[in-house]
Structure 1
Amino acid sequence: MTSAGDLVVFRPKRFALPMWAVLLGLVLRWSGRAIWWCLRHPVATGSAVVALWLFVEFGWSGLVVPLVLASTASAVWRWRDESSWWTWLAGPLLGSFRRVFVYRRVWREAMTLCRLADTYDHRPVLPQLLRVRSDQALDVLTVRMVRGQTPEQFQAVSANLAYAFGRRHVRVYSERPGDPPTRTGHAAWLLRFVDRVRYRDRPTLVYLAVVRTDALRTVVPPFDVPAVPDFTALPLARREDLRPWSLHLLATHVLVGGATRSGKGSVLWSLVRVLGGGIESGLVRLWVIDPKGGMEFALGRPMFARFVCKSFEAMADLLDEAVTVLRERQTRLAGTVRVHTPTEADPLVVVVVDEMAALTAYLQDVELRKRIASSLGLLLSQGAGVGVLVVAALQDPRKDVLPFRDLFPTRIALGLTEASQVDMVLGDGARARGALADQMPRWAKGVGYVILDGTPDPMRVRFSYVSDDDIRAMARQYPAPAHAADILAQVGRETAPEPARPPLPRKPSGPLLPESLRNLLDRDTGGEGR
């Protein structure tokens, strides 16, 4: 019996399972998980099965002999082709090992403390580590984001992630870093189909490139000079994954921003070097402006078709002549092609300007500064399509120093002095995406950030170092032709005359004013207005 105020508790009836049913459920549960793991890791499962079979059939010799043979084959493979060895054997094996024993151990803690974990339905939800692929210098982690996350959230905590994994640098890419390889041979069609699946766009994934060993600490030697330069892929630098980074020079302008002693000369001389074969053959004309009195480029004077280093008036004249070449080519190529193709008869003209601010901001002569700015504006806005390109370097990328900064499609950021300058050079948000050009160490001469083609993600590279002896050897081996400075002689001689066009017939029209108003005006003016 209960009285008023008594608490009545209702408890559901508990159903007690027999012990054999509990054990059976646990066995089925763990068996299912084991089968699923084997299906997800066929290589590890197959290797374990083969090793077990060899041990049962042949004992310890069945394990030792295949291991020795495999090690020998691996050593020979690495000796013959180390790049493919890392791609197909060492990289996947090392990545699998580091995924289990390095990143898995700290994954939950790192995601939680870096504020990348969330809670849904009272349960913690973490980004999922799908794969780790390693090479000589990097671990590339493929991560599936939590629903509702964006790559910008990972980019904002890239420094936290680096130190959480015990490293100093982590790059975050919204698309898979690296371009699909070029396939040739009989099975190229199949491999291209596989690459189309591997490199397809996956908006739910983000890629973390963890710098395990900083490959950019060592000086990069100069690249080989091709006999005929490929203007769509000029090798200038080494990437963090030890692959070369190539510049697409055709139909673009290049801006190099960096503080004093940051290595801007490495960028410019690396470009001059890979163009050496084209300079010697006449396929490329270099017009060089060195406002520092020739301290940077005078060593390579024989390679330049035009060289100005002392007179600002002469520098303005050179830029005006480049505009003249631009106008002549526009008239000649209009209606024929949209992008100029360099030939020895119609070469690529590259105007190299060191310390651009000396021409656009620090020049005392106002009229001369306006004249230079006018010529540069025309070259940057109209010269890319007709093969008159500008490659400029400067220390201060502010708008009042370089008002036409946005007209440079290709930009390179070396060591800078302020965080805001990174976005000025590479574009808004570049520093938040990992381009820490304002935090360069002292040894990082020629180390900078570039933007990958087709993506907004920055990449860290180191440009090759071209010594003074290398420059002297280049000047002797790849001099410009004797007639290289005579390109202006083509202007006027090859320009097609403008065709005469008859005037279009016009229908006669009546007076614009009413007759009464015209008579009133004529009377007031006495007929003088006619």
Structure 2
Amino acid sequence: MTSAGDLLVIRPKRFELPAWLVVLGLLLRWSWRAGWWCLRHPVATASAALAVTLYVEFDWPGLVVPLALLAAVSLAWWWRHESSWWAWLAGPLLGFVRRVFVYRRVWREAMTLCGLAETYDHRRVLPELLRVRSDQALDVLTIRMVRGQTPEQFQKVSANLAYAFGRRHARVYSERPDDPPTRTGWAAWLLRAVDRVRFRDRPTVVYLALVRTDALRTVVPPFPVPAVPDFTALPLARREDLRTWSLHLLATHVLVGGATRRGKGSVLWSLVRALSGGVASGLVRLWVIDPKGGMEFALGRPMFARFACKSFEAMADLLDEAVDVLRERQARLAGTVRVHTPTEGDPLVVVVVDEMAALTAYLQDGDLRKRIASSLGLLLSQGAGVGVLVVAALQDPRKEVLPFRDLFPTRIALGLTEAAQVDMVLGDGARNRGALADQMPRWAKGVGYVILDGTPDPVRVRFSFVSDSDIRDMAAQYPAPADAADILAQVGRETADEPVRPPLPRKPLGPLLPDSLRNLLDGDGGGAAR
């Protein structure tokens, strides 16, 4: 009997399961997990099954002999073709080992302390480490983000992640950092189908690249000069993964930003070297402006169709003639093509400007500075499509120094002095995505950050070092042709002398005080003397 006010405790009815049913459920659960693991790791499963079979059939020799044969085959493979050995054998194996024994061991601690762990329904939810792919220099971690996270959250803590895993450099990619390979041969159709799955867009996944061995500490030797330059892939630098970084020069302008003694000359001379074969054949014409009096580019004078280094009037004339070439090509190619194709009769014109700030900000002649800025603005806004390109280097990337900075589609950031300058050169958010150009060590001359084609993610590279002897050899071996009949072939034209400036007419200065005041002062002085 109950009455009002009595406390009633209601408990749900408990169902007692027999022990054999509990054991059966656990066995099914563990079997399902084991089967799913085997499906996700077919190579490890097949290797373990083969090892067990060989041991059962042949005892210990069944394991030792195949391992010795595999080691010999691996050594021969590494000796003959190291790149494929890393891609198909050493890289996946090293990545699996480092995933289990390095990253898994500290994963929870690193994700929590770096602020990437989330809380849902009173439970801690962590990003999931899916895979580790290793090569000679990098570990690339494939991470599935927690629902609701974005790649920007990982990019903001990229430096924290690097030090959490015992490294100094790390970058976060929102898309897969490597491109699908070019497939040829009878099985190319099958491999391309596999690549479509491997390289598919995965918005829930982010890639963390950790620099295990800094391959950029060593000086990069000059690359071989191609006989016919590929304007869509000019080899200029070495990437952190030991691959070659190539510049897409066709239909673009290039801005190189870096503090003094940070290797801007390495970038410019690497580009000149990559174009040398085209210079000698007449496919490329280099118009060079060196406001430092020729200290940087005078060694390569025979390679340049135009060269100005002393007179700012001559530099302005050079830019004006480049605008004339632009206008002529626009009138000739309008309605025919959208992008100019370089030929020996209609070559690519590359205007190289060292220390751009000397022309746009520090030039004292205001009229001449406006004239130069007008020509540069026309070239940068209209010259890419007609094959008149601008490659400029400067130390200070502020808008006051370079007002048309945004007209450069391709940008390279070497060592800079301020964190804000990184975003000025590479674009907003580049530093948060890992372009720490303001933290370059002193040895990192010629090391910089570039933006990969089609992605906003920066890549760290080191440009080749072209010595003075290499420049002299290039100038002797690849001089610009002197017998071309067009306006571009002016190899014999020397730099215009600095014009003689007559002194400005000035009226003689009279006394600073009026005569009446001077007489009064003189009279007072005389009276005091008396």
**What secondary structure is seen at the aligned counterpart in 2 of 1:487?**
coil
Q: How large is the Cα RMSD of the aligned pairs?
A: 1.7
Q: Is the 8 A contact 1:285 1:484 kept in 2?
A: no
Per-residue deviation, 1:476: 1.1
Task: State the match for 2:51 in structure 1.
Answer: 51
Counterpart-to-counterpart distance in 1, 2:29 and 2:203: 33
Q: Secondary structure at the match of 1:215?
A: coil
2:315 aligned with 1:311, yes or no?
A: no
1:214-239 CA-partner distances (Å, limit 9, x unpaired): 11111111111000000000010011
Match in the other structure for 2:191 = 191
Count of residues in correspondence between the two structures: 490
Aligned to 1:87: 87
Give the SS at the match of 1:462.
strand
Aligned residue number for residue 37 of structure 2: 37
Alignment of 1:108-507 (within 5 A): 108-483=108-483, 487-488=487-488
Structure 2 equivalent of residue 97 of structure 1: 97
What secondary structure is seen at the aligned counterpart in 2 of 1:217? coil
1:52 and 1:188 map into 2 onto residues whose CA distance is 35
Partner Cα separation in structure 2 for residue 489 and residue 16 of structure 1: 96
Q: CA deviation at 1:475?
A: 1.0
Distance in 2 between residues matched to 1:138 and 1:7, nearest whole Å: 67
**Structure 2 counterpart of 1:105, one-letter code:** R
- Paired with 2:229 and 2:342, the residues of 1 have a C-alpha distance of 11
Q: Which amino acid aligns with 2:79?
A: W
Structure 2 portions without partners, runs of 5+: 491-530
C-alpha distance in 2, partners of 1:111/1:485?
Answer: 66
Q: Secondary structure at the match of 2:443?
A: coil
- Aligned to 2:148, the other structure's residue is in SS state coil
**1:380 to partner: Cα distance:** 0.5
The answer to whether the Cα contact below 8 Å between 1:305 and 1:484 also exists between their aligned partners in 2 is no
Which amino acid is the alignment partner of residue 178 of structure 1? D
Once the 2 structures are TM-superposed, how far is the Cα of residue 137 of structure 1 from its aligned partner?
Answer: 0.5
Distance 1:105 1:3 in 2: 60
Q: Conserved in 2, the CA contact under 8 Å of 1:217 and 1:444?
A: yes
Q: Tell me the CA shift for residue 4 of structure 1.
A: 9.2
How far the C-alpha of 1:487 sits from its partner, in A, is: 2.4
Once residues 419 and 483 of structure 2 are traced to their aligned partners in structure 1, the CA distance between those partners, rounded to angstroms, is 46
Superposed displacement of residue 8, structure 1: 5.1
Q: CA 1:4/1:329 → structure 2, altered by over 3 Å: closer, same or farther? A: closer
Larger mean CA deviation between 186-195 and 316-325 belongs to 186-195
Residues 435 and 449 in structure 1, CA contact (< 8 A), matched pair in contact too: yes
Residue number in structure 1 paired with 2:503: none
**Cα distance between partner residues in 1 of 2:69 and 2:305:** 59
Q: State the secondary structure of the residue aligned to 1:432.
A: coil
Distance 1:41 1:190 in 2: 21
- 1:9 deviates by 4.0
Distance in 2 separating the partners of 1:489 and 1:343: 14
Partner of 1:498: none
Alpha-carbon distance between aligned partners in 2 of 1:488 and 1:210, rounded to the nearest angstrom = 47
Query: Relative to 1, partners in 2 of residues 1:59 and 1:200: Cα closer, same or farther, differing over 3 Å?
Result: same
Partner residue, 2:511: none
The one-letter amino acid of 2:55's match is F
Cα 1:12–1:488 shift into 2, 3 Å? closer
- Tell me the SS of whatever aligns to 1:307: strand
Amino acid at match of 2:80: R
For 1:158 and 1:383, the matched residues in 2 are separated by 38
Offset of residue 193 of structure 1 = 2.1
**1: CA distance between counterparts of 2:72 and 2:485?**
59
In structure 2, the partner of 1:518 is none
Tell me how far apart the structure 2 counterparts of residues 10 and 190 of structure 1 sit (CA, whole Å): 64
Change (3 A) 1:220 1:484: farther
Structure 1 residue 11: Cα displacement: 4.0
Matched to 2:365, the amino acid is: D
Deviation at 1:10, TM superposition (A): 4.1
Change (3 A) 1:25 1:223: same
Equivalent position of 2:63 in the other structure: 63
Asked whether the equivalents of residues 162 and 168 of structure 2 are also in contact (C-alpha less than 8 Å), the reply is yes
1:83-109 residue CA offsets vs partner (Å, 9 max, x unmatched): 111111111111111111111111122
Distance 2:189 2:13 in 1: 66
How far off is 1:180 after superposition?
1.4
Q: Identity over the aligned pairs, expressed in percent?
A: 87
Q: Once structures 1 and 2 are overlaid, which stretch shifts more, 29-38 or 200-209?
A: 29-38
Structure 1 residue 165, shift from structure 2 partner? 1.1
> CA shift at 1:178, angstroms?
1.5
Paired with 2:305 and 2:406, the residues of 1 have a C-alpha distance of 28
Kept after mapping to 1: 8 A contact 2:481/2:489: no
Distance in 1 of aligned mates of 2:133 and 2:484 = 50
TM-score in terms of structure 2 length: 0.90
The answer to whether the 8 Å contact 1:360/1:369 transfers is: yes
Deviation, structure 1 residue 30: 2.0
- Separation (CA, whole Å) in 1 of partners of 2:220 and 2:191: 32
**Secondary structure, counterpart of 2:202 in structure 1:** coil
Q: Does 1:24 align with 2:24?
A: yes
Q: CA deviation at 1:336?
A: 1.2
Amino acid aligned to 2:69: L
After TM superposition, give the deviation of residue 14 of structure 1 in Å: 4.0
Aligned to 2:504: none
**Structure 1 residues 465 and 488, CA, compared in 2 at 3 Å: closer, same or farther?**
closer
2:483–2:489 CA contact under 8 A, matched in 1: no
Q: 1:39 Cα shift?
A: 1.5
